[in-house]
């Protein structure tokens, strides 16, 4: 069984017009939501073998906040530049090239690619992944190269507004 957990970056700030899209940081809500979401889903999704993030500031910050909340050294988060602005096809290729020694991989990135990838891989209970949404997909596959379109099953899906009082 292979587990792929997709996490869309937490809410980012638009308060710095001098920054490029790549450099946008998380806003206050994003900094609150990321560790809360990690805490809420940790018992459901388990601890990943590997965490891989887009290098964009908002995605990498989200990944490091999740790592800290999941008891993983934030410095252990790998950076994969191809995740930034990736299409579902590019993301699927990246998944198929993952190290087979890692049976549970958590990816951090962006829409529309992450929502499109989730829908390409499995029948999903959601239309669109909001910021800081988490979806875990399971695959009956011996290696990552066996992961193909419609070969997965949605195991868990959560988003921050589910946990607001």
Mean pLDDT of 18-39: 96
Residues of the chain above pLDDT 70, percent: 99
Distance, in Å, from the CA atom of 1 to the CA atom of 101, rounded to the nearest integer, reads: 12
**Domain architecture of the chain: domains with CATH:** 2-163 (3.40.50.1240)
pTM for the structure as a whole = 0.97
**Chain-wide mean pLDDT for the chain?**
96
Q: Are 122 and 152 in contact (CB under 8 A)?
A: yes
pLDDT, tens digit, 9 for 90 and up, residues 66-123: 999 999 999 999 999 999 999 999 999 999 999 999 999 999 999 999 999 999 999 9
3-state helix, strand, coil split of the chain in percent (to 5) is 40, 20, 40
Q: How confident is the model at residue 49 (pLDDT cuts 50, 70, 90)?
A: very high
Per-residue pLDDT at 165 exceeds 70: no
Per-residue model confidence (pLDDT) at position 153: 98
Query: What φ, ψ does residue 8 adopt, rounded to 5°?
Result: -75, 140
Alpha-carbon distances, residue 19 vs 15, 25, 72, 74, 85 (angstroms)? 9, 9, 29, 24, 17
Per-residue model confidence (pLDDT) at position 104: 98
Distance, in Å, from the CA atom of 76 to the CA atom of 124, rounded to the nearest integer, reads: 30
């Amino acid at each position: 069984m292979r587990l792929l957990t997709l996490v869309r970056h937490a809410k980012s700030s638009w308060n710095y017009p001098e920054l490029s899209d790549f450099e946008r940081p998380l806003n206050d809500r994003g900094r609150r939501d990321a560790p809360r979401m990690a805490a809420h889903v940790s018992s459901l999704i388990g601890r990943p073998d590997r965490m891989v993030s887009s290098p964009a500031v908002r995605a990498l910050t989200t990944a490091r906040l999740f790592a800290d909340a999941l008891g993983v050294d934030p410095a252990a988060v790998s950076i994969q530049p191809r995740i930034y602005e990736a299409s579902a096809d590019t993301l699927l290729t990246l998944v198929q090239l993952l190290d087979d020694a890692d049976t549970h991989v958590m990816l951090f990135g962006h829409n529309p690619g992450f929502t499109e990838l989730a829908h390409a891989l499995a029948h999903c209970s959601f239309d669109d992944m909001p910021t800081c949404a988490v979806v875990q997909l399971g695959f009956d596959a011996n290696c990552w190269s066996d992961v193909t379109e419609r070969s997965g099953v949605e195991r868990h899906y959560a988003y921050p507004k589910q946990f607001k009082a």
